[in-house]
A = this chain, B = another copy of it.
């Protein structure tokens, strides 16, 4: 089949016939975040989609309702069916949620040969198979990265990167609300009720909290993940389910004593050609990567024959993360529309990057100094930092006599300011030597 490539260079060179037009169904938290990215980042997206990408219509129930995004006039409509049958629209993005009318609209869009991007986990976890069969028959994309773990790219790796591997087991922390509650119970020894109230206060809970607390939300996501991992359709009803309401602080303490953390874990595995899928609280050794997933974060831990253990971690919900995943899918569908060859669409960095001078990096430092133990030492050390405009975040003095030690951590300043400080410290009478110094990363400050 050599010299018979469908994606020949001629196709690559051909300019796109016009903009790729997007119809958005729904404009809540996620929808308005998607609209904002499409409206504000047009040129960056064009680069990656192989054609201009244009938000063409936004269908909502009540066009008069105020939105989180300023939409150009004429875009908003309450006629969702008009959007999915509009012959000028190439890609339909469904972010209404729920079963109907979302299901009907997606099927119509597919029949009208539009690519579909959706974040709708309930729908996929119950009717994904039918939707995919319809998309196959119509020869269009049905993309759903945002449906499983918000902004975490896990659907695409499972579909593509692991296409040559076999998944043994998937374990996920797929619900941010319950993980937040369990983290509070673990780290603050709060009761379930108090941790739940805190989740409520921070807006992490739904009006009906049982979808989260009883594991329904995680079960729907696990059904989608299992289907991808094992290439056969798994629906929510196939997933055994137990929530976190019975987990007590005593359990959490006992887990700690034995070196474990308690998490709400969604597990899918294939044994002898049969898939087992379940969501339940479980103890995980503290050394397990999932045990370190804190607060409202999600993660998917995958064990495969060849790649071994993998984990994908990030924000499983929220407008920004979900929109990021949706726009990634829109870019993929847009390349299908524009006929852009994948290669060049990615290879857009023929330019050399401008490299920032090493001294300009913003850093924090941990520094250990051997100092003389006499009055005024701390004052002159502190003055030395101040001379280079480096401010000190914490300091600790230990030992006495000739062998006193100062341990400092600085606030953010440039690498150059720090190096200047170090060189001044080395020449300071009261400093015997700089015992150790190391950059500090991952604090909120930098």
B153, B238, B442: the one contacting A284 at CB < 8 Å is B442
A37 within 8 A of B: yes
A207 within 8 A of B: no
Of listed A260, A262, A265, residue having the most chain B CB within 10 A: A260
B5, B135, B156, B339: the one contacting A6 at CB < 8 Å is B339
A427: chain B residues at CB < 8 Å are none
Of listed A288, A307, A328, residue having the most chain B CB within 10 A: A307
A154 to chain B, nearest CB (A): 9
A216: chain B residues at CB < 8 Å are none
A161: chain B residues at CB < 8 Å are 145, 153, 156, 324-325, 328
**Chain B residue with the shortest CB-CB distance to A312:** B312
Prevailing SS type, chain A contact patch? mixed
**Chain B residue with the shortest CB-CB distance to A5:** B337
A15 to chain B, nearest CB (A): 11
Interface string of A419-433 (1 = CB under 8 A from B): 000000000000000
B273, B310, B323, B336: the one contacting A314 at CB < 8 Å is B310
Report the bound CA distance from A334 to B289 in whole Å. Answer: 34
A439: chain B residues at CB < 8 Å are 280-283
A315: chain B residues at CB < 8 Å are 307-310
Report the bound CA distance from A325 to B438 in whole Å. Answer: 34
**A254-B368 contact, Cβ under 8 Å, with A2-B87, A283-B438, A307-B315:** yes
**Chain B residue with the shortest CB-CB distance to A340:** B6
Report the bound CA distance from A2 to B409 in whole Å. Answer: 60
Q: Is the CB of A331 within 8 A of B442?
A: no
A442: chain B residues at CB < 8 Å are 171, 282, 284-285, 288, 290-291
**A358-B230 contact, Cβ under 8 Å, with A139-B8, A159-B346, A328-B164:** no
A250: chain B residues at CB < 8 Å are 435-436
**Chain B residue with the shortest CB-CB distance to A41:** B164
Segment 338-389 of A: residues with Cβ below 8 Å from B: 338-339, 341-344, 346-356, 358, 360-362, 366, 368
A280: chain B residues at CB < 8 Å are 439
Report the bound CA distance from A138 to B344 in whole Å. Answer: 10
A76 within 8 A of B: no
Q: Is the CB of B160 within 8 A of A351?
A: no
Q: Is the CB of B17 within 8 A of A162?
A: no
